[in-house]
Every structure is written in structure tokens, then in C-alpha cells.
């Protein structure tokens, strides 16, 4: 049985991915800031803190064995006019969304290299296709994640490891509902559904399905790709 780590696995998209991989027969551990106390496979780690990641991974390896699948879903957004973003706010968004991916890949890569097999999926954002006002820090970080995905795929291909990104668009999670409530979406979720070609909001399961495919054995010839899952909002 292969072992997968999903960052941000306690909520929204990460939770959907963790559930799907579990039902596909993987051991799944999640890394979160606030893991649920009743989940034996949820570990506390801030993805910006390499020591916390290392500590969690030691525990995960001890319980579930080497980690050969990594899904980077932990993320934070931010909405502010560019001139009002402080450098600290800028750095925190870059730190979680981009540097968190760096730290987590570094932490699991030795297991994948030793196995001669691995799957890395990075959850970026559809805002990298279109841009998004008031989210320059977030769009910059997520665009860099797409770049990292492409470059790392070329490096790790010869070692049997694929690296792909899934940029979600408009997925019904606590993050989306929080932004609807704060009136940051330029309308309600229902308004947006009318502007979405497939006429519905996306679900964590939609993203999980794409991840499950990219992680599967049959996706071994797919690497360095950015697979948009957005109901046709971005083509
Ligand atoms: P969510 O429900 O807020 O889940 C994000 C998860 O990441 C939470 O469990 C959160 O923990 C965790 N997290 C945040 N900072 C962390 C840190 N420093 N270390 C470890 N864990 C951390 O959001 P979501 O909508 O599922 O988003 C998942 C991913 O998809 C994110 O990368 C997001 O940018 C991306 N995305 C989402 C959408 C969408 O429409 N929902 C669109 C584009 C991209 P806490 O709750 O404890 O803070």
C-alpha cells in the first residue's frame, strides 16, 4: 500500500483529496495548522516551518512507511489593493503557498528517490490563468507554483517521479464561502454559477478526481502539466 501526504488535508479541497485517495487504497496522512483531534492520520505542521514538517514526517514514516505521493493543497489567500499590501502580508502569502511547497517536496523527496517512483501534485489556482485584482501576492505565489511544477518535472522525470499542477477554479469550500460572505467575489456563488459554462460550482471531489488520475499508475506519461479544473471558466 502506498503512502500519501496531503497538506491542508483537514479542510475543503485537501480533505476531498485525502478521502478520495483513501478510498483508492492509499494510506493517507494530512498536514495542517489545526488538525482534527479525532483523526489519527492528521498531523500538525505549518508548511512554512521545515522542522515541524520533518517532525510530522518522522511520525508518518514510523506509522505508514515511506511517502511516495505528495499533494500540496495547503494555502491561504488574501484580498487587498496592491499598494495596501504590507511586505509582511506579501511574504506570508508567498511563504505558505510557494515556500510551503518547496519545504514539503524537500521533505518527501528522499523517499521517492529511494523508491524510484513518486507522484507530486500541486494545487495552484485558476487565477494564474486570468489574473485577479486585489490578489497580486496570491496570484504571484500560485503562478510560481505552476513554474516550479514544470521545472521540477523535468528534473525528476528520469527518477520515476511525476510532478503536475491542478489549478482549481470556483470550488465550494470554506475559503470560497468566506470570500462570498466578505463580498469579495463580485457577486454571490449563485451569480457565478450562471457565468460558469457547466452551470454549477465545483466540488472538492472534482479536484480530487483529477488528482487521483494524476497519481494513478496509468498517468505515468503525464508530467509537467497544468490541468485546469474550473467548469470551463478558464480555457
Ligand atoms: P480551505 O478550506 O481554507 O483549506 C485550506 C487548508 O490549508 C486548511 O486546512 C488550512 O488550515 C490549511 N493551511 C493554511 N495555511 C497552512 C499552513 N501554513 N500550514 C499547514 N496548513 C495550512 O481552502 P480550499 O478552498 O480547500 O483551498 C485548498 C487549496 O486550493 C489552496 O491552496 C487554495 O489556494 C486552492 N484554491 C482554492 C480555490 C477554491 O475555489 N476554493 C480556488 C483556487 C485555488 P486552517 O484552516 O487550520 O488554517
Nearest atom in ligand 1 to 169's CA: 42
Q: Of all residues in the chain, what percent carry a pLDDT higher than 70? A: 100
Is the C-beta atom of 148 inside 6 A of ligand 1? no
| Residues 47 and 23: beta-carbon distance below 8 Å | no
Average pLDDT over the chain, rounded to an integer: 98
Q: Identify whether 138 is a catalytic site residue.
A: yes
pLDDT at 71: 99
pLDDT at 116: 98
Q: How confident is the model at residue 10 (pLDDT cuts 50, 70, 90)?
A: very high
pLDDT at 204: 98
Q: Which are the contacts of 69, defined by CB distance < 8 A and separation ≥ 6?
A: 2, 3, 4, 5, 21, 26, 118, 119, 120, 215
d(CA 94, CA 71) in angstroms, rounded, equals: 18
pLDDT at 58: 98
**64 CA distance to ligand 1 middle (Å):** 24
End-to-end CA distance of the chain: 36
Mind listing the pLDDT tens digit for each residue in 196-212? 999 999 999 999 999 99
Q: What does the pLDDT average to over 61-83?
A: 98
Q: Does an H or E element contain 103, and which?
A: helix 100-115
Mind listing the pLDDT tens digit for each residue in 111-157? 999 999 999 999 999 999 999 999 999 999 999 999 999 999 999 99
Evaluate if pTM is beyond 0.85.
yes
Q: What does the pLDDT average to over 22-36?
A: 97
Q: What does the pLDDT average to over 89-108?
A: 98
Q: Residue of the nearest CA to atom 27 in ligand 1? A: 13
**101 CA distance to ligand 1 middle (Å):** 13
**72 CA distance to ligand 1 middle (Å):** 10
Q: How confident is the model at residue 214 (pLDDT cuts 50, 70, 90)?
A: very high
Mind listing the pLDDT tens digit for each residue in 151-182? 999 999 999 999 999 999 999 999 999 999 99
Q: Which are the contacts of 74, defined by CB distance < 8 A and separation ≥ 6?
A: 7, 8, 14, 31, 32, 33, 47, 96, 100
Amino acid at each position: 500500500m502506498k503512502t500519501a501526504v496531503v497538506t491542508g488535508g483537514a479542510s475543503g479541497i485537501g480533505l476531498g483529496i485525502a478521502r478520495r485517495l483513501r478510498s483508492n487504497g492509499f494510506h493517507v496522512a494530512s498536514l495542517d495548522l489545526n488538525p482534527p483531534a479525532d483523526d489519527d492520520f492528521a498531523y500538525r505542521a505549518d508548511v512554512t516551518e521545515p522542522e515541524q514538517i520533518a517532525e510530522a514526517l518522522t511520525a508518518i514514516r514510523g506509522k505508514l512507511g515511506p511517502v511516495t505521493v505528495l499533494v500540496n493543497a495547503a494555502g491561504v489567500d488574501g484580498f487587498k489593493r496592491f499598494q495596501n499590501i504590507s511586505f509582511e502580508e506579501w511574504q506570508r502569502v508567498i511563504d505558505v503557498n510557494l515556500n510551503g511547497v518547496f519545504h514539503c517536496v524537500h521533505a518527501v523527496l528522499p523517499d521517492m528517490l529511494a523508491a524510484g517512483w513518486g507522484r507530486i501534485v500541486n494545487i495552484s489556482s485558476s487565477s494564474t490563468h486570468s489574473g485577479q485584482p486585489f490578489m497580486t501576492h496570491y496570484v504571484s505565489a500560485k503562478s510560481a507554483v505552476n513554474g516550479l511544477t514544470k521545472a521540477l518535472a523535468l528534473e525528476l522525470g528520469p527518477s520515476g517521479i511525476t510532478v503536475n499542477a491542478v489549478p482549481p477554479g470556483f470550488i465550494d469550500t470554506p475559503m470560497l464561502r468566506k470570500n462570498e460572505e466578505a463580498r469579495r467575489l463580485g457577486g454571490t456563488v449563485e451569480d457565478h454559477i450562471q457565468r460558469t459554462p457547466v452551470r454549477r460550482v465545483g466540488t472538492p471531489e472534482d479536484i480530487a478526481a483529477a488528482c487521483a488520475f494524476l497519481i494513478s499508475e496509468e498517468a505515468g506519461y503525464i508530467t509537467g502539466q497544468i490541468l485546469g479544473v474550473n467548469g470551463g471558466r478558464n480555457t
